[in-house]
Structure 1
Amino acid sequence: MTFLRLPALLAAVLIFSGCSSSDEARVALEQRVQQLEDEKEIREVIIRYGEYLDARDYAAYAALFASDGVWTGGFGSAQGPAAIQAMLEEHLGKPEEGFINKTNFHLNTTVVVDVQGDSAKARSRYLFFTASPENRPVVALAGRYVDEFVREAGQWKIKRRTTHGVIPHRDGNDPNPPPPPASLGGVTRPQ
């Protein structure tokens, strides 16, 4: 009788060990998919940042930040969506009703994201294009963003963004940065 039970016992061990391995593989796959989804969502926030800034949609722009999110750059520093929106309106002015930007835009590139649970860090580069006197796109500014993200109410938000101007050079961490140029070819300088 014992000999007859051995094949059944071996089969059970093989089946259950296969399930364990299968469960581990499923969990590992779910984690990898979640990682990819998180990275995609963070990259989208970075893209929306430039899109909303270019459209002068300061409310949508500020909503990309966490409730205690901090923006630091050439205009100084602001904390929280309301303060960030107010900073943009103060330095760039409120857009006119029906505003369509036909003079400049941001291009984000070289995005590197490192997700750790409900927080993440990202680095990216930006180019800011304006129209030349001949109405051709020219790079007016180039720089980099250093970001910290947090998952807030199920959405990725910017916890801290520091803007570093590379061309022309501006240190976003300088407590007393020089004032930004008043304009670039008739276009107020955005960050």
Structure 2
Amino acid sequence: MSETEDRRDITDVLIRYATGIDTRDWPLFRTVFTDDCRLDYGEIGSWTGVDAVTDFMVAAHAAAGHTMHRITNPAVTVDGNTAQARAYVDALIMAPDNASGVNAVGFYDDEFVRTAQGWRLHRRRFTTVLIRSVVAG
């Protein structure tokens, strides 16, 4: 594969992450990660393994209304079968009534590995820039 194709495929992994959460498609969400992934979301928490990550996200979004995880500006550097990426995230998580919610803005620093199933997220660090309450209207 070319580096351009690798970058595209890694960007597709980021899109699967957001789509999996926002559609509550947890089987799709699981395809984002290596089995032994590690995610560090700072004060929010950290998790090791795809099962722990998925369990957290299912619980965190179970009572949510609409959610929108916008992941933009991916800067991807490929080195053989590994890659580094930084992307911005703007996540909106509404309450069940969709009248209010939380907006979290920050960036992801990610490490990807190429597997037999394609690129997978192996490590992530989420850095918070802003968290604020929002009211619909």
- TM class by smaller structure: 0.7 to 0.9
RMSD of aligned Cα (Å)? 3.0
Structure 2 residues without counterparts, runs of 5 or longer: none
Equivalent in the alignment of 2:17: 49
Report the CA distance shift for 1:130/1:90 in structure 2 as closer, same or farther (over 3 A): closer
Equivalent in the alignment of 2:69: 106
Contact 1:69 1:159 in 2 (8 A): yes
Q: Percent identity between the aligned chains?
A: 29
Alpha-carbon distance in 1 for matches of 2:103, 2:5: 33
Residue 70 of structure 2 aligns to a residue in which SS?
strand
Encode CA deviations 1:31-59: one digit per residue, 9 max, x unaligned: xx611110000011011111111112233
Alpha-carbon distance in 1 for matches of 2:57, 2:117: 26
TM-score by length of 1: 0.59
Amino acid at match of 1:163: F
Residue 52 of structure 1 aligns to a residue in which SS?
helix
Structure 1 residues without counterparts, runs of 5 or longer: 1-32, 96-100, 170-183, 187-191
Q: Select the structure that is richer in strand.
A: 2
Contact 2:112 2:123 in 1 (8 A): yes
Which structure has more relative contact order (CA 8 Å, sep 6+)? It is 2
TM-score by length of 2: 0.80
User: What is the correspondence of 1:63-74 to structure 2 with a 5 Å cutoff?
Assistant: 63-73=31-41, 74=43
> Does 2:23 match 1:60?
no
Q: Select the structure that is richer in helix.
A: 1
> Does 2:83 match 1:120?
yes
